[in-house]
Structure formats: C-alpha cells, structure tokens
Amino acid sequence: MMAGLLLAAALLGASAVLAADMVRVGKSVSQPFAFAPLEIGTAEGIWAKHGLDVEVTIFAGDAKLQQGLVANSVDFGLGSGPAMGFLAKGVPAKAVGALANEPLSMGLIVGASSTIRKPEDLKGAKVGVTTNGSLTYWLARELSRQMGWGSEGIETVALGQISAQFAALKRGQVDGIIMSSSQGYGLEEKNDGRLLLEFGTYIKDFHTHIIYATSDMIENKPDQVRRFLAGWKDVIAFMAGNKDETVRIAREVTGLDQAVESREYDDVMPMMSRDLRFSPKALDVIAESFPEMGIMSEKPDMRRLYTEEFLDNPN
C-alpha cells in the first residue's frame, strides 16, 4: 500500500511539473523579427523551462491589438511604443517591458519604378501604414516633422495587414509603405520595390516595441507576468549567442530567404533590449509627440502607463 501511495505521489508531482500555464500573446503585426522570440522560445524549450505554454494571435495593427487587450482575448501584447497612447485613453493594460529601442529595423519602401529617389521627395506623398496611432503611423508623422513639413507633410493611409500594403504599393495607390526593412530587402531582390530609408538614421531615443500586459494579468497572475518577462530575456540571450539557429527559426515566421533574414538579424539584434527597462528620455519623446500628432490633446503622465515591478527575475 505504501508503494502505491509513493507512486501516486510521484505521478502527481510529475503532472504538476509538466502542467504549464497557458498565456495568450498577441502580435500587432505578423512579420517583425523583433516579435519572433515567441516562436524561438517555444522551439528551444525556453518557455517550457519557465512553466509557460505560449499561444500566439496575430492582429492587423496596434489598434486591433489594443482592442484584443480590452476584450481580454489576449494576456500580453507585443506592440509599439506609440501605442502607449491607447493606455492613456483607458485601455485596461500597462507597458511591462521595453523590448526594442531605436527603430533600426524599420524602413520606408517605395515602388521599384518610383520617382521618389530621396527623403526630400516625400513631401505630399501618400504612405501606407497599418492603423492610425500605430508605430508606422508615428514614424511617418515624425519623419515629416523632422523634415520640416510639420506632422502632416506626409499623408498616411491606413491599410492594415502586410498583404494589403504590398497590394496598394503594387497598384500605385500609395507612394510608399512603412514596415520592416527586411521586407524592403526582399522586394529589392525581386525588383518589386526599393528601400528608400531606414528610420534608425533619424530617430535615436525611442522605444520601438513594447510588451503590454492586461490589468487582469497584473492584478491576478503577477507570477505569470514575471515568468513571461524572465523567459523573454532568456530568449533574447539565446538569440544573441546563436545566430544560425535564430535565423533558421525566424525564417519560419517571416518567410524571408536566408540572406535577407541574416541581414535582418544583424539589423535588429542591436535594438533588442537585454533588460527590458524603460528609458525616461525615450518615454518623453513618445509622450511629447502625442499632442502634436493628434493622438491626444495633451502630454500624458507616462508614469501611470508602465511598470518595471515585474522585471526582477522570479524566485
């Protein structure tokens, strides 16, 4: 009888070890290499080591992701820094980690036969973005501002998912699109487009991508928030030390060829935060842009929109 009890206890313990907590994570868009740690962590067993099973959902831009957070259809969201403006408007979530800093990965792509040859030619151009208030929207308006044309010197056109943006560029409905520079590399190889500029040249103090957590997760499952962020940092450490394997898995996410993905790795890894800490200067850049860009009427108190309390490794 004692042997049976010991066996039952052992099986119960094994089940507890094997039972991972399911966390639902939304991506604002599908293609960024910066969001591939979700799949890389699964493939390498890193999430499992933290007792997590990650379920991924793809959204058509920041606004749609924020709707998912409101509806509680996801627990975490991978979105842009400018999307913090949605939090100030009442989305029940907080920024819990700054996953990527200056926008080294982002570019503006024009058609292969476009007459736009240099950034100065963009005045009055129509440029496709995912949604209003998104990272791509912010980048277009900030570039216009830096070029001396005010925030509306470049006309933004909300197009949603990447396939719609490619189609609009091909049909000439827009003069350019903003997305990962790697997509520009791929279009150049096919003679379907040309990378005009990379935003890292113009914008330095910034949080390009942010990890968001719902208020429900923060209040009711803080241990899962800590474990998710600890797991994320472990995935980034793996990626930094294992380029070949990272590129192999990332290609399954992005659909890019070997040469383009390798180039993207070199572009993006320097912007990936190792500690997920927020920069006061970067947060101030984002906050000050909201009134000018029409995202909010006044600069918000950013301290209410983020927390670093979950960034220390769990015990």
Read off the pLDDT of residues 198-218 as tens digits, 9 standing for 90 and up.
999 899 899 999 999 999 999
Enumerate the β-bridge partners of residue 90: none
pLDDT bin (cut points 50, 70, 90) of residue 182 is confident
Q: DSSP secondary structure string, 71-131?
A: TTS-SEEEEESTTHHHHHTT-SEEEEEEEE-S-TTEEEEE-TT-S--SGGGGTT-EEEESS
Structure tokens at 57: 């959902």
User: 20-24, 44-48, 132-136, 247-251: which range is least confident on average?
Assistant: 132-136
The pLDDT tens digits for 117-175 are 999 999 999 999 988 878 889 899 999 989 999 989 999 999 988 889 999 999 999 99
pTM: 0.84
State residue 185's pLDDT score.
87
For residue 137, give the amino acid letter. Y
Q: Which residues contact 241 (CB under 8 A, 6 or more apart)?
A: none
The pLDDT tens digits for 239-298 are 999 999 999 999 999 888 899 999 999 999 999 999 999 999 999 999 987 887 667 788
Tokens 């015990």 correspond to 315
Please list the alpha-helical segments (H only) found in the chain: 2-18, 37-43, 46-49, 62-70, 84-88, 135-146, 162-171, 181-189, 215-220, 222-241, 243-254, 258-268, 280-292
